[in-house]
Structure 1
């Protein structure tokens, strides 16, 4: 009876011997896999850290280049020169006297280059179409300006101006008109002077 009990309750030696090697084999197989996963995660962390450091350095370099490349932030004399050139050009380009139409052509030839030639012609076309009939006199005066950037021989200036338009024609409905204007003026430095290379208007 005691022998039968021992035989019934104790696991067969052969079965136990088969289970232990199977369990040990699973652990041995799992450990290298976990090591490889941990190594991969560590490598990914290092790569991400390196990329973050590189990206930060590149961002700072771009910011530094923009700050040092924009002379408007570092050269007060150059900035003043550009503001003066933009103001003088806008005053001349957008003023018109029906009694002296040659002055407008001279201003265009003096201050304009590139696509600004066509842009100026388009902007002034409504005035020129009726100037002789209505005896129009337009006076433009720059009241303020801000240099957005200066990069080598190129610059961009925001210009604020007051405009008055008067007519001496008897049939003109409005003898005088006043308005404000805002323009973005691109300039290029050529042959020792600043020329207007592009004009953008923002209404008035």
Structure 2
């Protein structure tokens, strides 16, 4: 019969055998004290997980953001190209339109824009017309001087034709012709040339019957002294020479 002491020793041996590790088991390493690199077989799942994570939807979303940024970067470039084409087309149209305006005779007219030159032409033309179409049989010097200094080109012959019949009888009838410009308008100014429309009042008085005696002579004198009054409208072309405007054409509109 075993003694209590033998029974205690048996339990201790059984306990020792139970505490020994099995032959196929490996010693376990506490967490946090690993000093050697992990086996390669443990790295493969990590690599695979990285590749898998790259193929996950999250990775696709990141690629979409990059693609969006790339497209967003191209949009300003496209807009800039379109604006360049539009501006280039507008510049070409504007240049062509400016050329048309320069070539248009109406656009070349500066009568409405150069007010100082327009006023100068009106003033000198009015004075020239008044001198050229006024005649006093008692003092012909101003009339003759105007014909020599204010006419040029074909206007010399035109002026002589218009007043030829009056001048032929002026000495005999003692005629006094007075012309006053009431209004004028500059139709166009083209460089040193201009066209002016003239409105004038004319009066022609003959004093040939003055001084005759008797009632018949007085009646004849009174009738001739009444004179003739009329309005006239015509156009003159003037040219700028030597600091003044000269008449080079007289247009009576077929009259």
Whether contact under 8 Å (1:149, 1:155) holds in the other structure is yes
1:98 corresponds to which residue? Answer: 137
Q: Does 1:181 align with 2:220?
A: no
1:80-99 residue pairs with structure 2 within 5 A? 80-99=119-138
**Closer, same or farther: CA 142–203 of 1 in aligned 2, 3 Å:** farther
Aligned to 1:169, the other structure's residue is in SS state coil
Aligned to 1:107, the other structure's residue is in SS state helix
Alignment deviations for residues 127-166 of structure 1 (CA, whole Å, 9 cap, x no partner): 1011000000000000000100000000000000000011
**Which of 114, 127, 132 is matched with 1:75 structurally?**
114
Task: Count residues in correspondence.
Answer: 149
**Which of 187, 198, 203 is matched with 2:249 structurally?**
198
Whether contact under 8 Å (2:183, 2:198) holds in the other structure is yes
Normalised by the length of structure 2, the TM-score is: 0.54
2:86 corresponds to which residue? Answer: none
Q: Which of the pair is proportionally richer in strand?
A: 1
**RCO higher in structure (CA 8 A, sep ≥6):** 1
Normalised by the length of structure 1, the TM-score is: 0.67
Deviates more, 1:100-109 or 1:155-164: 100-109
Larger Rg: 2
Task: Kindly report the root-mean-square deviation, in angstroms, between the aligned alpha carbons of the 2 structures.
Answer: 2.4
Q: Does 1:159 align with 2:198?
A: yes
- Unaligned 5+ segments in structure 2 are 1-92, 210-219
Whether contact under 8 Å (2:204, 2:229) holds in the other structure is yes
